[in-house]
Amino acid sequence: MTGQNEIILESLQFEAELAFVGNVCERLPGYNRYDGGFLHFIRSGNASLDLPDTPSLSISEPTLVFFPRPGFHRINPVDVEGVNLVCARIKFRGGGLNPLAESFPPYLAVPLGQLQDIGSVLPILFDEALSGELGHVDVVQSACVIIFVNLVRHLIETTEIPKHMVRALQDKNISMALAYIHNNYTAAITARSIAGGCNLSRSQLYKKFREVMGITPNEYLAAYRMIRAQSLLANSLPISEVATSVGYSGSPAFIRKYKELVGCSPTKWKKGAQSVPSLDGLLTN
């Protein structure tokens, strides 16, 4: 199953952009509204994680705080010494349509000591973030990817996330089904062919897929195609070419489905006239 999981993780990549590095000594007066996900690496110091209408969380050891989706939050120092941290904005491919981003709870705070195999990565992350030298942005991006993969492994092992994508990675058949979709979304695949690719009958696939993912295989396929379509649209490919590249016979069918899932036409989305909505209404428990 490891190979299938790697296909899924590679297909649902994200970008990390360095947002802040240094020491925060003063309390923030209000909550910051972030338009995307965020990774906060608290290196030292005592801090409080504050969210609206939620009790503050005390942090007293090196900790990774992960916000997979947009929202309000702030990290405040507790002591006069302040808190030393590195912050990176996270942008998942496909935005709110990304099922991996939808797999996580509103936020996670994991002590860095609980994450395996990142002991040698963290010093590089902090040193490069502080250095500002040539190539440091690429190094920080790579370090964030390594840490994120280890976070996913940790959450799978500790079963702290009981929904959707991470839960699917634990299920052999559904993991195979997702890998089949990710490898063949450009073709005219059906639920029957997906079932054959994961050694289930069509009825077994529908039952198990809905139990694990909360949606049908066809709904997941459509959402995943939109994720890949947005990557192509962002690279200025013509809509007709995008449509055939993600498995549609022509532009009309693709545009109809795009409007249904994203809420606007591909042309309007490219112009940035409307942000991508979450799939909360589709990926339900």
pTM: 0.68
State the pLDDT at residue 13.
67
State the pLDDT at residue 98.
66
Residue 67, beta-bridge partner list = 38
pLDDT band at 157, cuts 50/70/90? confident
Q: How many whole angstroms separate alpha carbon 79 and alpha carbon 190?
A: 58
**Which of 182, 183, 173, 184 lies closest to 213 in space, CA to CA?**
173
Q: How many whole angstroms separate alpha carbon 13 and alpha carbon 148?
A: 10
User: In the predicted model, is pLDDT for residue 76 greater than 90?
Assistant: yes
Q: How many whole angstroms separate alpha carbon 204 and alpha carbon 206?
A: 6
Range of weakest confidence among 22-31, 114-123, 254-263: 114-123
Q: What is the pLDDT of residues 98-150, one digit of tens each?
A: 666 666 778 889 998 888 778 788 888 888 888 888 888 888 888 888 888 78
| 211 neighbors 170 (Cβ within 8 angstroms) | no
User: In the predicted model, is pLDDT for residue 273 greater than 50?
Assistant: no
Q: How many whole angstroms separate alpha carbon 41 and alpha carbon 115?
A: 13
E strand segments, the chain: 14-24, 32-34, 37-44, 47-51, 54-59, 63-67, 71-77, 83-92, 108-111
Q: How many whole angstroms separate alpha carbon 179 and alpha carbon 5?
A: 8
Strand, coil or helix: 76: strand
